[in-house]
Copies of this chain bind each other. A is one copy, B any other.
């Protein structure tokens, strides 16, 4: 049974994601469609890129990941299939796959769909049928010419100095946890003095959320290996008035 995951900004209520599921099952009735989310903020390309990077690798090899956040649908951007060693990604060439490109070698192809398609809903008319067909077999006929330079969004990188690293908040999750672009390998062997964010200084690293008993902001390495600012049983985002892009600095001895 082939697994096809769906990540979109369609919501569920208008039936757009539903149509995609119908199209997939019409082509491959035994496809195992897995809802990731349909609640990506409207047209949030970089948001989707970040979220995809968090879940894709947990699926079995061979999984096909569809991502549709597509403000440019019907315009110049390409419909794209991305092939890595372990996975296939299907969606618009607008940067949603940027994190995938950073970490591994990929092959990117334009999608050939011969049927008449709408100009406003390639999720249903291009990405769903392409993914469903590829879940049946790796058919080069639906792949067009290679895309040599797929679109990359700007992914902010943290900057390491002699006794500090400066990064920023790149995602805020449902719990109000502030996820940074400072990875554990940058700081795990250091004797941390302070983590600075929004003029607050956090003086020691925690291991888990619950340890922040005092409802003070704490810093920890999260489940994706990134530095995260959290408040136990509360929203660090609300507490600190934080936003994506706010600077975070870690100092060590």
Q: Tell me, in angstroms, the Cα distance from A72 to B32 when the chains sit together.
A: 33
| A5-35 residues at the B interface, CB under 8 angstroms | 5, 7, 9-16, 18-19, 21-23, 25-26, 29-30, 32-35
Query: Closest Cβ of chain B: how far from A227's Cβ, in Å?
Result: 12
A232 interface residue (CB < 8 Å to B): yes
Q: Specify the main secondary structure of chain A where it touches its partner.
A: loop
A108 interface residue (CB < 8 Å to B): no
Please name all residues of chain B whose beta carbon is closer than 8 Å to the beta carbon of A245 when the two chains form the complex. none
Please name all residues of chain B whose beta carbon is closer than 8 Å to the beta carbon of A191 when the two chains form the complex. none
In the complex, which residue of chain B has the Cβ closest to the Cβ of A121?
B223
Q: Tell me, in angstroms, the Cα distance from A138 to B61 when the chains sit together.
A: 26
Q: Tell me, in angstroms, the Cα distance from A211 to B25 when the chains sit together.
A: 32
Give 7 closest A-B pairs by Cβ, nearest first.
A74-B208, A22-B58, A121-B223, A75-B210, A12-B37, A22-B59, A118-B223
- List 8 extra interface pairs beyond A18-B54, A73-B209, A121-B222, CB under 8 A: A12-B39, A18-B51, A19-B58, A22-B57, A22-B60, A25-B60, A43-B233, A74-B209
- 10 intermolecular pairs with C-beta atoms under 8 Å apart: A9-B174, A11-B39, A11-B173, A13-B51, A22-B57, A25-B60, A35-B35, A73-B209, A118-B223, A124-B223
